[in-house]
Every structure is written in C-alpha cells, then in structure tokens.
C-alpha cells in the first residue's frame, strides 16, 4: 500500500496551480479521473468558471451523484499553491483518497470528490473556490451528507522534540508525529469513530482530535481547507491533517516534495480511514 501511495504522490506533485500552470492542473484532473474509472467508479464533473477559465471538481460514486442517498464523502483538493510542487499539500491527500477508493471500491452511499482551486488564487482574495461551488450545488439539489472527511496534507511527520507548533489555546503534543482530526460540533461522532478505529486497526498511528468552536471562526487556521464550506452549510465534516504550516517547514514552498514525506505515515492514515468509512 505505501509504495502505491507514494507512486500516486509522485504522479500528482508538480507545479499545478490554476493560474500559471492551468494545463498541468487539467492533466492532473484527467489522471485522477482515469484512476477512479479504473477502480470501477462512475465519474462525473462539477464544472465551474473562475476568471474566465473552466475548472472541475471530480466526483466518483457507484451509480451517480444524483442518487438520493445519505452520503459519506471523502475528499481532497488536487491543485497546488503557486511556485510549489505541493507534495504534502495536497498530493498526499489525493494519494490517500485514491488508495481508499481502490480499497473500498464503488459502494452505495459513498462519494469521493477531488476538489479544484482550494488554494488562494493570485491577485485575489479567493480560495476554497471548488468546494464552495460544490457545496452550493449539492445543497440546492437537496443532497444529504451524514459524514464528510477531507484529507488535507497528510504526509509529513517529525519525531523531533518541539517539531509541532500549536495555535493559541490548543492542547496537543509538541512532537509532530500524529494525525489531527479537526471537526465541528456535528462531527463529534466522526472524530470519535476515527480515533477509536485507528486505535483498533492501526495502533501505531497517533490521533489527536479537536473540535473547532464557532465553525472555526475563532481560530481561522482551522478553516483553511475544503471542509469549511461543509461546516457553513450545516454538514458534519472533519479535516484530517498533519497540521500543515504548524509542522511542515516546506509548507507552500518549492521544497514541498515527495522526498520529504513518510509513505508509512500515509499508509497508516489510509488504513485508518478505510476502516472508519466501513464503520460509518
């Protein structure tokens, strides 16, 4: 599993922002679509336009996203910030998502989504563009999500003392060797389920949970990924993360490469998520 995940990271990483590397971003989208199709999924596009260009979220289900079901959604964004190859942020999340999809296969009530344009766009204040579009569309369609799990930077780990920075008032270890699960109040069951499931099936994976008060507005860093639009729409959602800028010194830089990531850690996260989704 870990070798396949690392191989996927390497295929996704590279300069692929939606502004200056538009064509590369679309090449990555096509790669993700092919991987979902090869795993047996029905693949659809949620298309949007930003600054006069067309982009797409990629949706993979057993029988189509229009089905009237209570969905469990697993998602990750596939774009990168300008001037960074984005291995941890967020080729790692895409790789783990695809590995979970391959392992579970198409199942009733499970939806995988690869989001576009999560990162801040140059010369604007816009970010989370793809997920906001998706959530608004799904809300208008009356779609129900009983659990949303967003993978955001899940590949960097450090065993060095004081390698983990912490936001104000957040209690967590000061060693960056855990995976964090950040949720809203409605996601308590998801956070508890992930932690208990990891303890049962992947005991070597340390899990720290954090409930963000007031939909994260009191701690804005907890809103920096595609789970936030789901919070705002009233869905139970979590961000699964290595904490990004609070741990990884390569965050949003040219040095965010696959060589800095831990295949073992990513495989542990994937294994825990697979069993968590099965439990849900």
Q: For residue range 5-23, what is the model confidence (pLDDT) as tens digits?
A: 999 999 999 999 999 999 9
- Whole-angstrom Cα distance, residue 96 to residue 112? 11
Model pLDDT, residue 66: 82
Evaluate the CA torsion angle 242, 232, 80, 110 in order and state its sign. positive
CA distances from 103 to 39, 78, 122, 214, 272 (A): 9, 20, 37, 35, 12
Angle at Cα 36 formed by Cα 146 and Cα 39, nearest 5°?
Answer: 100
DSSP structure string for 18-50 = TTTSHHHHHHHHHHHHHHHHHTT-EEEEEEEEE
Model pLDDT, residue 71: 97
Name every residue whose Cβ is closer than 8 Å to that of residue 172 and which is 6 or more positions away in sequence. 164, 166, 178, 180, 208, 210
Domains of the chain, start order: 2-279 (3.40.630.10)
- Whole-angstrom Cα distance, residue 179 to residue 150? 13
Residue 179 has pLDDT above 90, yes or no: yes
Model pLDDT, residue 192: 97
Model pLDDT, residue 155: 98
CA distances from 12 to 78, 89, 110, 194, 196 (A): 8, 11, 23, 26, 31
- Please, which pLDDT band fits residue 67 given cuts at 50, 70 and 90? confident
CA distances from 180 to 56, 165, 166, 239 (A): 28, 13, 12, 8
Residue 274 has pLDDT above 90, yes or no: yes
Q: How many CA atoms lie within 13 A of 147 on its CB side?
A: 19
Going edge to edge, which strands form the sheet with 178-183?
42-50, 53-61, 110-115, 70-77, 144-152, 237-241, 178-183, 206-211
The pLDDT tens digits of the residues spanning 117-157 come to 999 999 888 999 999 999 999 999 999 999 999 999 999 99
Residue 218 has pLDDT above 90, yes or no: no
Q: Are 226 and 66 within 8 A, CB to CB? A: no
- Please, which pLDDT band fits residue 53 given cuts at 50, 70 and 90? very high
Residue 168 has pLDDT above 90, yes or no: no
Residue 214 has pLDDT above 90, yes or no: no
Share of the chain above pLDDT 90, in %: 92
Across the range 43-63, mean pLDDT stands at 97
**Three-state secondary structure call for residue 191:** helix
DSSP letter (8 states) at residue 137: H
Q: Where are the alpha helices (DSSP H) in 123-247?
A: 129-140, 188-201, 228-232
Model pLDDT, residue 99: 98
- Whole-angstrom Cα distance, residue 46 to residue 53? 14
Model pLDDT, residue 197: 98
Residue 164 has pLDDT above 90, yes or no: yes
The pLDDT tens digits of the residues spanning 114-127 come to 999 999 999 888 99
Across the range 222-229, mean pLDDT stands at 96
- Whole-angstrom Cα distance, residue 65 to residue 12? 24
- Mean pLDDT (the chain, rounded): 96
Name every residue whose Cβ is closer than 8 Å to that of residue 40 and which is 6 or more positions away in sequence. 105, 106
Residue 280 has pLDDT above 90, yes or no: no
The pLDDT tens digits of the residues spanning 26-52 come to 999 999 999 999 999 999 999 999 999
- Whole-angstrom Cα distance, residue 90 to residue 16? 11
């Amino acid at each position: 599993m870990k070798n396949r995940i690392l191989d996927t990271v390497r295929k996704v990483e590279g300069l692929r922002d939606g502004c200056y590397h538009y064509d590369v971003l679309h090449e990555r989208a096509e790669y993700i679509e092919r991987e979902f199709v090869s795993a047996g999924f029905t693949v659809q596009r949620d298309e949007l336009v930003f600054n006069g260009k067309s982009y797409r979220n990629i949706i993979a289900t057993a029988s189509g996203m229009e089905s009237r079901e209570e969905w469990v959604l697993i998602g990750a964004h596939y774009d990168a910030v300008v001037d960074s190859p984005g291995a941890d942020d967020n080729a790692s999340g895409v790789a783990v998502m695809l590995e979970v999809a391959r392992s579970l296969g198409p199942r009733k009530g499970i939806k995988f989504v690869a989001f576009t344009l999560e990162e801040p766009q140059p010369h604007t204040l816009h970010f989370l563009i793809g997920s906001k579009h998706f959530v608004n569309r799904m809300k208008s369609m009356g779609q129900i999500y009983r659990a949303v799990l967003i993978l955001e930077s899940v590949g960097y780990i450090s065993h060095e003392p004081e390698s983990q920075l912490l936001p104000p008032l957040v209690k967590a270890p000061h060693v960056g060797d855990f995976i964090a699960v950040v949720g809203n109040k409605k996601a308590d069951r998801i956070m508890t389920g992930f932690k208990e499931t990891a303890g049962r099936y992947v005991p070597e994976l340390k899990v720290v949970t954090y409930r963000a008060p007031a939909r994260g507005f009191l701690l804005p860093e907890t809103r920096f990924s595609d789970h936030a639009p789901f919070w705002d729409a009233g869905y139970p959602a979590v961000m699964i993360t290595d904490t990004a800028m609070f741990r990884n010194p390569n965050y949003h830089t040219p040095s965010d490469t696959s060589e800095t990531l831990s295949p073992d850690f990513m495989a542990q996260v994937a294994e825990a998520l697979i069993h968590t989704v099965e439990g849900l």
